[in-house]
Amino acid sequence: MQTPFFRPGGRGPLQLRPLTLAPNFVQTAEGSVLVSFGNTRVLTNATIEQGVPGWLRNSGRGWVTAEYAMLPRSTVTRSPRESEKGKIGGRTHEIQRLIGRSLRSVVDMHALGERTVILDCDVIQADGGTRTAAITGAAVALGIALNALVKAGTLKQSPMKQLVAATSVGIVAGTPLLDLCYEEDSQAEVDMNVVMTENGGLVETQATAEREAFSRAQLNEMIDMAEAGLKEIFAAQRAVLQTS
């Protein structure tokens, strides 16, 4: 029998960390949100540029992509800059591809037209769940940037069809937990990310056994927990978008 696991801060298994979405953290970007899940803080900035990558030229369709980086001291032990190392690591690539796919799933590319939206997600402080926080924050930054195009009369309505958000779930000491912090994540047997649209459609589910393989029953329980958490997150996103 496993020792029961007590969550740092006494959180319940189904409880999200305190979530804030601070809009307009930076004035230089078309859309900007500093998202925090507990001690995890990610600055997400949206840039809208004219034009699209080569393979979309003259298609009438737009493109949405993302870049992700961690500041060297976002972590308790300093990590070297990828610019110093001269190349981007595998983990970074994997994460920025996930963020890009997630956001593309809720944008009508024909309505966007031949524009490229870049979501820069820079981790200011890391305590687990940076990729899901980045998706959650970037969705709001994207919404703000596209709404601004509507206000400016450039577009008739926002090409963002609905919200998208993400959260993590995991199994720690045999117990499924929502929204893992770093300490929990580093001990998890299974780690899962769920990306969902506001109307409940699944965009991406990635479950990974870190120590032990998992069962279909465990997979289903984890998705149930993620869905519950994501409803709270969508509410927070909507609140910010309506007022900014």
Query: Residues comprising the binding site for phosphate?
Result: 91, 129-131
Residue with structure tokens 């995991």? 170
Distance CA 91, CA 107 (A): 25
Residues in Cβ contact with 215 at an 8 Å cutoff, skipping those fewer than 6 apart:
none
Query: What's the min distance (Å) between Cβ of 179 and a copy of itself?
Result: 19
Residues in Cβ contact with 58 at an 8 Å cutoff, skipping those fewer than 6 apart:
114
The smaller minimum CB distance to a copy of itself, of residues 135 and 203, is found at 203
The smaller minimum CB distance to a copy of itself, of residues 157 and 199, is found at 199
- Token readout for 98 is 């996930």
Distance CA 76, CA 29 (A): 29
Binding characters for a copy of itself, 133-172, by CB under 8 A (x = yes)? ----------------------------------------
Distances (CA, A) of 201 to 22, 27, 80, 162, 163: 26, 33, 38, 11, 11
DSSP three-state, residue 115: strand
Beta bridge partners of 85: none
The smaller minimum CB distance to a copy of itself, of residues 173 and 209, is found at 209
Distance CA 145, CA 75 (A): 29
- Radius of gyration for the alpha carbons in the chain, expressed in angstroms and rounded: 18
Site membership for a copy of itself, residue 3 (CB under 8 A): no
Q: For residue 198, how many other CB atoms are within 10 A of its CB?
A: 18
Distance CA 215, CA 58 (A): 47
Query: What's the min distance (Å) between Cβ of 3 and a copy of itself?
Result: 21
Query: What's the min distance (Å) between Cβ of 87 and a copy of itself?
Result: 6
The smaller minimum CB distance to a copy of itself, of residues 169 and 242, is found at 169
Which residues from 202-231 bind a copy of itself, rule CB under 8 A? Answer: 202-209, 212-216, 219-220, 223
Query: What's the min distance (Å) between Cβ of 43 and a copy of itself?
Result: 7
How many residues bind a copy of itself, per CB under 8 A? Answer: 62
The smaller minimum CB distance to a copy of itself, of residues 156 and 173, is found at 173
Which residues from 11-50 bind a copy of itself, rule CB under 8 A? Answer: 26-29, 32, 39, 43, 45, 47, 49
Distance CA 189, CA 172 (A): 6
Which residues from 78-137 bind a copy of itself, rule CB under 8 A? Answer: 78, 81-91, 93-94, 96-97, 101, 105, 118, 120, 122, 124-126
Give residues in contact with a copy of itself (CB under 8 A): 26-29, 32, 39, 43, 45, 47, 49, 67, 69, 71-76, 78, 81-91, 93-94, 96-97, 101, 105, 118, 120, 122, 124-126, 196-197, 199, 201-209, 212-216, 219-220, 223
